[in-house]
Amino acid sequence: MVTYSLTLRVTTSKGLIKKPTFSPSRSIFLSNSLSFSSISAARMTGLPTFFANILSQYALDEIELGGLGRLLALTSDDEFNSLAVLQFVDIFGRAEVYQLTSESYEKGDKEAVSRHLRGRLLFAPGMTYNQLTSRFAAGAVIKTTSLTEEFDYNAFQAYYGETVVPLFVIEQNGNLVVVTANNPPRPQPGQKLISLIKPAEAIPTPSES
């Protein structure tokens, strides 16, 4: 069974930074900005959008949640991300609400949002909003790699080293698995790995797209 995502989208001053490369997809992309321009930028790429305050009752009532199974909160506002997690935890369950880690959380700042109010931390330890956007600004690309017996995950790691950031795994049945900081991926041959790769390392292998 394929599970789809409700995502608070990563944006920059130039708008939406990347369109997802995985499919099939029924994702709704939102922004923590009240500006309609960020939503318009997403629509121009063909992404489904919904313009509303995600913390409002209106959003809960009007967003078509049928077929959606998770929330990914990827905005620059850590408290906003945590509030969005709390808004949807009863709908999607604790295991399927995610957010980026924050600079304050990584540093152990006493003002950081409490752990029990957070979603599962996305992608890799230390992968903050600033880390993610700085990689895109430097030209990092998202690659989908089909793993095989000849080019398995160990070979993938040896090829790209420690700088690659695994994001998602697509299982053979089409289910999308989100990579989290405390649950490193162990994808198997026959599965696809979606990763963020620095431009100097983005030399396609025969199994990449």
How high is the mean pLDDT of the chain?
75
pLDDT of 1 strictly over 50: no
Sign of the torsion angle spanned by Cα atoms 14, 24, 1, 164: negative
Report pLDDT digits (tens) over 51-101: 777 888 888 888 777 777 888 888 888 888 888 898 888 888 898 899 998
pLDDT of 35 strictly over 90: no
pLDDT of 169 strictly over 90: yes
pLDDT of 115 strictly over 60: yes
Question: What is the maximal distance between C-alpha atoms in the chain?
Answer: 51
pLDDT of 117 strictly over 60: yes
| Cα gap 78→122, rounded to integer Å | 13
In this prediction, residue 32 has a pLDDT band, given cuts at 50, 70 and 90, of low
pLDDT of 18 strictly over 50: no
Give, in words, the CATH class of 4-123.
alpha beta
Q: Which two tokens stand for residue 178?
A: 């989100």
The alpha carbons of the chain give a radius of gyration, in whole angstroms, of: 17
Written in H, E and C, the secondary structure of 84-127 is: HHHHHHHHHCHHHEEECECHHHHCCCCCCCCHHHCCEEECCCCC
Distance of CA 134 to the CA centre of its chain: 15
Domain locations in the chain as residue ranges: 4-123, 138-201
